[in-house]
Each structure stands twice: as structure tokens, then as C-alpha cells.
Amino acid sequence: MSSASPMIHGWINLDKPVGISSAKAVAIIRKHLNCSKIGHGGTLDPLASGVLPIALGEATKTVSYVMNSAKTYEFTLVWGNETSTDDSEGSPTLVSDKRPTREEINSCLNEFMGVIKQAPPIYSAVKVNGTRAYSIARSAEKKGEDSQLTLEPREVIIHDLVLTSLNQNEASFTVFCGKGTYIRSLGRDLARRLGTAGHISALRRLSVGKFDVKDSISLDFLTSLRDSACAYKNVISLLTALDDIPALSVTPEDAVRIRMGQRFPYYQEGAIKDQVCVAICEGEAVALITLDLGVIHPVRVFNL
């Protein structure tokens, strides 16, 4: 696309393929759409595929709302080996001949639902004294050393966890979980609880908030588009990321004041303190605001 391509504001519901990082997917789209402002709503490892919401233009101001959304995954857990990375890319660290039965698995799934504690994989983006955990682990691996890295368990929430298939060597699950959940850790801990060893061999994200894999588009399809008009047809309104936030209808005059960063009274029945809203004028997003006891406070203005 040429340098004259218009700025695109909104979201692309990308089905990221296996084999590339989220950052690589963003870089490809940035170049193809000639988009200077771009980001994504939650990292997927190269091993994983599925929903990767891509924010374009002013939609980048709503990324945090997507990253905090609940997510759905399907994953396959291979029995027999726990690995250094908790997936198929690592070297074996624990071996077991035990193969759990369907009854054993189903009997313990409830223990992994609700608010639980899990230690992130050492090959993760968690920072340790300012350095990413995966950098520390990889540095030790290159030297042939054990990283001796231990990450503190943290609380996450699992809304639902279901066994979907089982054979002698592996089991598949779907999980609906809150932000910050590591599926590799979940698989590792589930195998340990069952008295065996295991690692994730396949991982696919089915949804992120309102973004669902059924409505996603492939990277190959997106890059096959040769002009911005075609690209626009696949861009979703930036309001998609704000579906769970109350909408506040404002007049064109109010919209001007909000875009200028002004605070002003707004009649509100049953005044609430510090309520986050999205101000909308004639169907267009104006800004994220707080409505504090009947006074509008602009927070993030959308320059559409």
C-alpha cells in the first residue's frame, strides 16, 4: 500500500498462525497497511495459534481493556515428559510412565477452577529484577547451566476447565480463564496433580473478550488484500473493545469540549463516583471519560 493510504482506526480480529510471534504478526500488518500506530491485545507464543486482536490507529488507546478480558483456549497435553519450557520446544526435565484415566482427570478438574495460584513458566515475559524471565533462562541454557530460576506463584482465575478428548498418550481441554493465566503452567500443574508428567503440544486461543475465532481472518488473507478499501472491510469498530463499558451519549457541542480536555457538568440520574464511560456522539466514539458525581472528566480522547 502506498504512503498515501488513509489512517485506519479500529481492530482486526486476526487468526495468528503457528510459527510466528505476536510481534512478527504486528510487524507484517504494520508494513502491509502502512500503519504507524498499531498494537495487539495479548501475546501468543509462536507455538500457539488463534485470536490475536490487532489495534490500529486510535484503537491502540483501548488495548488495555482487551488485555484485561477473559479468554478461551483449547490445548493438548501430552503425557510422559515435563519440559524446561512446559511445551514441546523444551528439553525433558521429568519423565513418567503413568497415564491418567478419564475418571482421574475429571475428578480433579474442580481443583483448578476458581481463584488459584500458579507459577509462571520460567520461559515467560515475567520480569525478574528488571530482566525478562525467558532471557535469564535462555542465557543459562546457552551456557549449559541450570538457570535456578524460581518464579513466585500468582493468583489467576479459571472460570471453566473441560476435558474434551483423551487417548493413551494425550488429552485435550478447553479452558475459559481470566487475564494473566499461563496455559503452559496449567498443563504442567494438572499433570503433576495426576501423578505424572506432561507438557503442552498444541495451543489455540478461541476468544479474547468480544473477539471470537469464528469471526477472525487469517494473516494470509489479510496480506492478500492490495488496497486500503479492501482492508477497511475487515476492520472492526474500536468500540468493540469497549462493549462492557457504559456508553454516554453526548451532543456535538459536548464532544468538542471533551476533545479539548474540558471538564463540565453533565446531568446524571443517580450520580455515581468515578464511573468509566465511553462518550459517543452520533454513533462515533469521542473519548474515554470518567463521570464523577455528574461531572465529565476526559481521560483518553479519540482523534478520528
Cα–Cα distance list, 297 to 59, 261, 287 (Å): 20, 8, 10
So where are the chain's domains?
Answer: 10-69+210-241, 71-208, 245-301
- pTM of the entire predicted model: 0.88
pLDDT digits (tens, 9 = 90+) for 35-63: 889 999 988 988 999 999 999 999 999 99
| Average pLDDT value for the chain | 89
| pLDDT > 90? residue 209 | yes
User: Given this model, what pLDDT does residue 244 score?
Assistant: 85
Cα–Cα distance list, 17 to 22, 67, 68 (Å): 10, 19, 23
- Cα(122)–Cα(153) distance, rounded to whole angstroms? 12
Average pLDDT of the segment spanning 164-169: 96
Domain 71-208, CATH homologous superfamily name and number: Pseudouridine synthase (3.30.2350.10)
Residue 176 bridge partners (DSSP): 72, 160
Q: Which residues are catalytic?
A: 45
Two domains, one topology: 71-208 and 245-301: no
3.30.2350.10, 3.90.1150.10, 1.10.3720.10, 3.40.50.10300: CATH of 10-69+210-241: 3.30.2350.10
Q: Which of the pair, 121 or 287, is modelled with greater confidence?
A: 287
CB atoms within 10 A of CB 267: 6
User: Given this model, what pLDDT does residue 240 score?
Assistant: 87
Give residue 2's pLDDT band: very low, low, confident or very high (50, 70, 90).
Answer: very low
| pLDDT > 70? residue 141 | no
User: Using CA of residue 29, residue 35, residue 39, residue 40, what is the dihedral sign?
Assistant: negative
pLDDT digits (tens, 9 = 90+) for 80-136: 999 988 999 888 999 999 999 999 999 999 999 999 999 877 766 666 666 676 676
pLDDT digits (tens, 9 = 90+) for 288-298: 999 888 899 99
Average pLDDT of the segment spanning 229-251: 86
Rg (CA), the chain: 22
User: Using CA of residue 43, residue 44, residue 46, residue 51, what is the dihedral sign?
Assistant: negative
SS (H, E, C) 124-162: CCCEECCEEHHHHHHHHHHCCCCCCCCCCCEEEEEEEEE
Q: Which three cell numbers stand for residue 130?
A: 528488571
| pLDDT > 70? residue 1 | no
- Min mean pLDDT across 179-188, 202-211, 270-279 is at 270-279
CATH topology classification for 245-301: 2.30.130
Nearest residue to 117 via CA among 176, 213, 195, 186: 186
User: Given this model, what pLDDT does residue 80 score?
Assistant: 96
